[in-house]
Structure 1
Amino acid sequence: MAQPLTQFWPIFAGKSDGQDVVNQKGVVLRNGPTQEQLDRTPNEQGQSDYYRLIEKDEPKHTDWRKKLGGMLLREVGGKEYEDKWTQCILWDFPEGYRLYEHIKSKANGEAKAVKNHSGGGHDRQDAYLYGYPKGPRKRFRSPIEFFPHLLWLSTDETSDYQNCTCRICSPMQMEVEKPAPAAKPELKPDLKKENGPMTAAQTVGRNPVVQIPMRRPSTGTPMTQSPSTKPATPSTTPNPGQIRAPPRLEPTPLPQPRNIDQQVDSQYGKFVARTGEVVWFFRPSTEAWGLGLVVRRWLPKDKAADRCYYIQPLSHPFSEPPQEMVTSDQNLKPWLAWSAPSCTYAYLQQNPTLRYDQIDWHSLLSGRFGEGVADVDASILAAKAIDTTYTLFECLKTATHMGVEERHYNGIYLGAEKIWNGEPVRLRMAIGTDVLVVTSIIEKLYPGPPNQANAGTTKIELRGDVYSYDTLPAPNPNSLPQAPSSSNIPLRMREDLRWRNHTLVPTTRLLAYWKLMRANVSINLEDIKGRWYETSILFVEFFTKAIKNNEGGNGVWMNARGDATGVGKAAGTQQANRIAAFGPAVPKSTHLTEGLDVPDEQGKSGSAAMPGMELGVGAAGNEGAFQLDDFMNFDGTEDAGMTFGQGFTF
């Protein structure tokens, strides 16, 4: 007689720190088995040794989730839900976590059948849960081993990893002594009930002890999340009589533009570069790319060009190259789009930690340190120095909250880029592809005596909504599914998505959309990678190639602020104004012109042709003339992170 099916109560992971890929020392790695480990091809002796992804509907996946769900409800819900302990299942692993099975067998015909819950016939079938943000070497080997981390994710509001008692977060903790084995009671499916208060999580056939994390006393200041966690819907908190998903997230309204530059930059397809930004720009006189500061931009009235920019080349303190004019966005690239090349002087190559302000430029120019091109090396070092700075601008209001002064700003120069309030930025969090739509830029000043925590320090936070790129099945392009949408998603993101779906839907039968993950959250400045750029403007070729190769359509993995210098995750040094951040890398007379007014003859810096100063040791056109392209290594440098166009699509 067939046994009746058991009805299970789903319980959901409230947030996750799982990552599909990780950046370790500037190298992006798959956070799971390597491609070689996934290869199922037997060796010459017919032996198999590989990993495979366990799907959600497979017995082993279900077995893990039933055990985790029961333990989680027992610890979070307590005795009130005792009747559900053996009928509860984790709906899915936290976002970013994947369960793999290691299959290892002898030569064909030699394998012995093994009785286990996965129904295997191999010598080894161990399961491993990947996704921990420290990389693929940090994996969980059993539900019992993962449960303390899941419990920490579900209950610790501070997201402080020091509060987690799992073996990875707390490798030095002492093992809790296991109780002496008792008489074996009659076992019920998956989890057994216990009388009295629960201090340990127990599974069928074992009595392991799970340590509950000790809470730190809460303080007035939220603790830094490193690495940061993100929510996954729905919540774990059980409600009387029912386990429910959390209420629908409501997006935060976007702030209105306050000036013409901000309004133009909020529109789609206007300007790639902004006044005050460091960019790569193409120099026709040398047919090479250089680095410079955007000092002005405008739309020409005569329609002779798409748009125009004045660029001040970066250089050493003894050079004042004139500004050059660029008349197309095709001749501009963001600083983070390419990895910085190595310097031309062997001396600077051998001393990569030297900063722009530490160089003896006079000795370098005199030939004391050998041969090279000072203008080129100075521009590279200047751009790296600027990458470690930030400058707030246009203070909107000042308020005091719990004794901390909070200043709200309309924008911030973050490294090489200009970021407005109300626009998207790229995050280091999760798998590195999430986007924060900024709704507040806040500078917090902590007063008090020197011995007080945070006293005399400044902290920068960006507040807003976190969105993740996601897709829905679209089997019929003429009848698309209803994807969540919001007018609070910036226009640039919506228009870029429309462009992507124009190719994505008919080719892959998938509809892309921006999924709201968290609303009105605060992100530390050091967790910001940089500006978000439209795939449809900068990465068309790579998007098309990714779709053709069935690799998804979430754009290209760009460099992050801090990659070029090796500093990585850091807020950087605050500068009083934007020009001060450049120091002697630009002439003292340099100033930024806001707005889009067309310059007259008096307003131009140099001649209309703007030939500029050649980056070479010979006249333009000479065979011996230096070109920056000769030294650019677009395959990446040791300290420079990912290159433009190289990376992963999701």
Structure 2
Amino acid sequence: MSLAYYKPVWIARSDGEREIKTKKHGRESNGPTDVQLNKEASEDDYFELLPVYHEVAQEWKRILGGMLHREQKGQADQKWTLVDFPENYRLYKNVRKDRGKTDAYFLYGYPVGRKKRYKSALDFFPHLLWLAEGKSDDRTDCSCKHCAPEWIQEVKPLPGRDGFAPMRKEAPPIKKENVATRPQSFATNPQVVVKQQQRSSSQDNKPSSKVAAKVVIPPPVPKAGLPASNSSAPRAPAAPVLTPNPLPSPKSREQDQDAHYNRYIYRPGELTWFNRGTAWGLSVITKRELFKDQRNQDRPRYLVQPLSHPFAHPATKVISAETDLRPWLAWSAPGPTHQALAAANSHYNTVDWKAVIEGRYGVGDAEVDGSILAAKMIDDSFALIEPLSNNTTTTGERTYNGMFLGGEKLWVGEPVRLRPGNGQDILIIHQIIEKLKPNSTNVASATIHVVGDVYHYTSQPYTPNQEPPVNPNLPIRLRQDLDYRNRVTFAKVSARTISHWKLNQVAARLGIEQIKGRWYESSILLPILHAHFQQDLSQGIITDVGTWINGRGDANSAAGKAGTRYKDRLETFGKAVPQGTKISRGLDGPVEENIFPGANSNVPATMMAGLAVSETGQGQGQAQAQGQTQQVQVQVQVQAQAQQVQPASDGDIAEFIDLDPMEDGFTQNYIEQGGQF
């Protein structure tokens, strides 16, 4: 029997806040006060923030990982440990030297304020489990001491050394004949009852949940069809050997570009976060190209159009470093700065933006709020591209070569992350199918499916002469990333593991609502997102980057919904981008679509209309036709009248999302050195 080893897990959802708003003091730190943090003022009783790798912080994360492992029925040969606490939760040490008191530790970050803190890992675990399961945004569904009534808060230790699990008080057993007629009440708490029923039922019937979206290492896929443990029971027949379908070939030049490893992370038409210099904003990519850097190596750069309200739009900006971009799903968008917009759960297309600019919605930043609501509108969208066939007369189906789903662009022949399968499953798209309703030609009511092979990421301890299986039907991006990840985990002799993509299902047919989003290479995106990537590498650890990012629909609390269909990508953006904006078709479109502003002095002026900006993105976009001049003047006048209400500068939206510390990307160095560590 192999020894158990630690697997890092990451909780992608968090409600933690580093700052809170108070009526008395305005914004204040959601942690120990400045006085409490001042060691010089009180040497006998003060607080200090523990670093991520402090031994006490590590112990908390191992305890929490152990409890989560037990709750999620993790593999017996594994132990789990948290990579870090949920975002904005921080562990502090209370150094107490007076009157023989012992030091204490407190986890801050609970969004109500600093007085609501957790005193131990066991204290925090019910809240961590609620975050990990992701079934509800209502904190009353959580059973921790800060969220729930006292009668739910009982936590008892489970036997063993690996941790504990919360045990909620249950209502008395209900007779079967009375279940249908018994009225529900708060005392019986239907959600708690359902939770207990799920845990006691067979794993074969365990319903899917959003646990997969938030936890790096999920419970193993249950073995369907196994009889109860009984020496006299017949053995279940062996599962048939699955044969993967051949990988579809690219049908366009852009599709082929995106199939290459480490050429581009982002694609024209995609929604991204971009570095504004003092804060991060939201934009859509309109163009991309490769350029030669100072070492004469090809590097990608992008032209982005920031999102805004309909009355004014920031200039386009050239982004020459992929570290200055983030996928839309990498972060969760904050609420609008205008509290009235947040309270009304507003939609971009229904907001009276003129009233917002004039200050009738209170204090806030209209440009920022326009970008937030536009991004959520885009997240709810989808549009099919590049039709391949039309069999509506016989099967009622059309097939397509790609689609925009939420903020991302997907192609046939590439992997996508799935909501089913506990977060470790992907599907290689073989077909995108539009199915019309019988006797109907209305595409608005059509259902959209993807068909492809489903794979599960599987790891096990390495044994001598063991090699991962070779599957030529996996996309090259998937294979090269897997090779990288195996090099990392193999480098740590004391905990060598080897991984592969295991085929679980052939030709699965799933609705697009079951797609979480694009699959990204951990070897390429994780160094950009993870501040401690280098430290993890030195320990032979590389987590799946898909567990660090959200799923499509999470921004609108609409996970599992197909969303609104649009005829094309530009219709999706609506008035959130300037009139006349074009999305480059790259290698599949005309040359003029790919010209960057200021890149070629011989470009006809008519081609550059509306793109008169500098490489740094400063200045204002020009009107694209003479008939727009008056409208632009009116917009400027309206904005000028509202300047006292909502100034528009990068410094004023710093709290939109602060810059995070950047590190040099490890991946590029690895690739330049020929893949050698």
What TM-score range do you get, normalising by the shorter chain? 0.5 to 0.7
Q: Which residue of 1 aligns with 2:458?
A: 470
Q: Which residue of 501, 509, 532 corresponds with 1:522?
A: 509
Partner of 1:417: 408
Please say if residues 462 and 522 of structure 1, whose CA atoms lie closer than 8 Å, have aligned partners that are also in contact: yes
- The correspondence of residues 239-638 of structure 1 with structure 2, limited to 5 A, is 243-284=236-277, 287-300=278-291, 303=296, 306-351=299-344, 353-400=345-392, 404-448=395-439, 457-476=445-464, 479=465, 481-507=466-492, 508-540=495-527, 541=530, 553-555=543-545, 556-596=547-587, 599=595, 600-601=600-601, 602=603, 603-604=607-608, 605-612=611-618, 626-632=651-657
Contact persistence 2:10–2:548 (CA under 8 A): no
Q: How does 1:205-216 map to 2 (within 5 A)?
A: none
SS in 2 for 1:307: strand
Pairwise CA RMSD of aligned residues?
4.6
Taking the aligned partners of 1:445 and 1:623, their CA distance within structure 2 comes to 46
Sequence identity of aligned pairs in percent? 34
Q: TM-score, normalised by structure 1?
A: 0.59
Encode CA deviations 1:281-300: one digit per residue, 9 max, x unaligned: 1134xx33211111111112
Q: Secondary structure at the match of 1:539?
A: helix
Q: Is the 8 A contact 1:443 1:461 kept in 2?
A: yes
Q: Check the 8 A contact 1:323/1:610 in 2, yes or no.
A: no
Alpha-carbon shift at residue 342 of structure 1 (Å): 2.5
> For residues 502 and 656 of structure 2, what CA distance do their matches in structure 1 show?
41
Which SS does the other structure have where 2:195 is aligned? coil
DSSP-derived class of the 2:255 partner = helix
Larger fraction in helix: 2
Q: Deviations over 1:585-616 (max 9, x none)?
A: 11110111112555244355223425245999
**Separation in structure 1 between the aligned mates of residue 72 and residue 505 of structure 2, nearest angstrom:** 32
**Cα distance in 2 between the residues matched to 1:595 and 1:495:** 25
The number of aligned residues is 445
Aligned to 2:129: none
5+ residue gaps, structure 2: 1-8, 17-61, 78-132, 134-155, 161-166, 168-190, 210-218, 228-233, 622-638, 661-677
Larger radius of gyration: 1
Pick closer, same or farther for the CA change 1:422–1:230 going to 2, 3 Å.
farther
Change (3 A) 1:632 1:532: same
Q: Conserved in 2, the CA contact under 8 Å of 1:37 and 1:51?
A: no
Instruction: Return the alpha-carbon distance in structure 2 between the equivalents of residues 634 and 235 of structure 1.
Output: 51
**One-letter amino acid of the counterpart of residue 347, structure 2:** R
Partner amino acid for 1:473? P
Greater shift after overlay, 299-308 or 429-438? Answer: 299-308
Instruction: Provide closer, same or farther for how the CA distance between residues 501 and 135 of structure 1 changes in structure 2, counting only shifts above 3 A.
Output: farther
Letter in 2 for 1:488: N
Partner-residue secondary structure (3-state), 1:385: helix
Q: Which runs of 5+ in 1 are unaligned?
A: 1-19, 28-33, 40-49, 58-95, 97-101, 106-117, 119-124, 126-133, 154-158, 162-228, 636-650
- Pair 346,141 (structure 1): closer, same or farther in 2 beyond 3 Å: closer
Moved over 6 A (4+): 20-27, 36-39, 50-57, 102-105, 134-137, 547-552, 614-618
How far is 1:414 from its partner? 0.2
1:505 CA displacement: 0.9
Q: Quick one: structure 1 residues 524 and 449, their matched pair in 2 at CA, closer, same or farther if it must change by over 3 Å? A: closer
Residues 13-162 of structure 1: matches in 2 within 5 Å? 138-139=195-196, 146=201, 150=204
Distance 1:323 1:422 in 2: 32
The residue that corresponds to 2:187 in the other structure is none
Q: For residue 594 of structure 1, what is the amino acid of its counterpart?
A: R
Whether contact under 8 Å (2:489, 2:541) holds in the other structure is no
What are the superposed Cα offsets for residues 61-91 of structure 1, whole Å, 9 maximum, x if unpaired? xxxxxxxxxxxxxxxxxxxxxxxxxxxxxxx
**Could you tell me how far apart the structure 2 residues matched to 1:373 and 1:501 are?**
47
Q: Within 1, Cα distance between the matches of 2:208 and 2:544? A: 30
**Deviation of residue 305 (structure 1)?**
7.2
Q: Secondary structure at the match of 2:388?
A: strand
Provide the C-alpha distance between the structure 2 equivalents of 1:346 and 1:340, rounded to a whole number of angstroms: 15
